[in-house]
Amino acid sequence: MEISPRNRRHDLTKQKILDTARQILLTEGVQAISMRTLANRVDYSPAALYKYFANKEEIIAALRQEAWEMLEAHPSEISPGMSLPEIFVQSGRGYIDFATKYPEYYLLIMSTVEDGPKNLEEFKQTPNFIGFLQFVESIVAAGEFQLPPGYAPFHLALLSWFTVHGISMLKLTTMNKCADEFETASVEVLNMVKEVFTRK
């Protein structure tokens, strides 16, 4: 079905607003995004923007979803023939690489409060986590990783996330002046996690 000129103009304007918000995010940070600032940049009245987005939070949510999609699509340099534990490490390195190359997007992903899960069961089902959890479950089910008694793949998935998120935040903040040395240490930590859980 062909899109009408009116709907096409609406979609183009909405995209222009998102593009402008993205530019502000990348150059000034998420805190600089406001309906008034966006209206000035796209040459619209603030009231006109509400025809396209209910509020600033809706625009930021759209950018956050875009950032999640970028993270999921970010290459992890996984090669054919890699073992599951090797893929585990390489996936972690890909996560950290994304945070390093796209810090504004990464910090935007992690800045959400209102949209966070209300409990761990809800968190387990979030699209942005469930895929990784299923991957960890497959490694454990294949016997590639051995968990201590009383622990489940969910605990290992959380430990992995705590590790790569902590490394990512440290690279962007406290350790940014010794990035090369810290990168080496980070890879060693990821490999240590792999070695701990592959011990028979």
Q: Which domain holds residue 33?
A: 5-63
- Cα(152)–Cα(140) distance, integer angstroms: 9
Which pLDDT belongs to residue 168?
Answer: 96
State the average pLDDT over residues 32-43. Answer: 93
Using pLDDT thresholds of 50, 70 and 90, give the confidence band for residue 11: confident
- Residue owning tokens 């995209």: 15
Nearest residue to 96 via CA among 185, 22, 3: 185
Domain count, the chain: 2
> What CATH code is carried by the domain that includes residue 10?
1.10.10.60
Report pLDDT digits (tens) over 138-178.
999 999 999 999 999 999 999 999 999 999 999 999 999 99
Task: Tell me, yes or no, whether 110 and 187 share the same domain.
Answer: yes
Task: Tell me, yes or no, whether 54 and 101 share the same domain.
Answer: no
Task: Tell me, yes or no, whether 19 and 88 share the same domain.
Answer: no
Using pLDDT thresholds of 50, 70 and 90, give the confidence band for residue 113: low
Which pLDDT belongs to residue 59?
Answer: 93
Q: Does residue 121 lie within any of the structural domains? A: yes
Q: Does the pLDDT at position 84 exceed 60?
A: yes
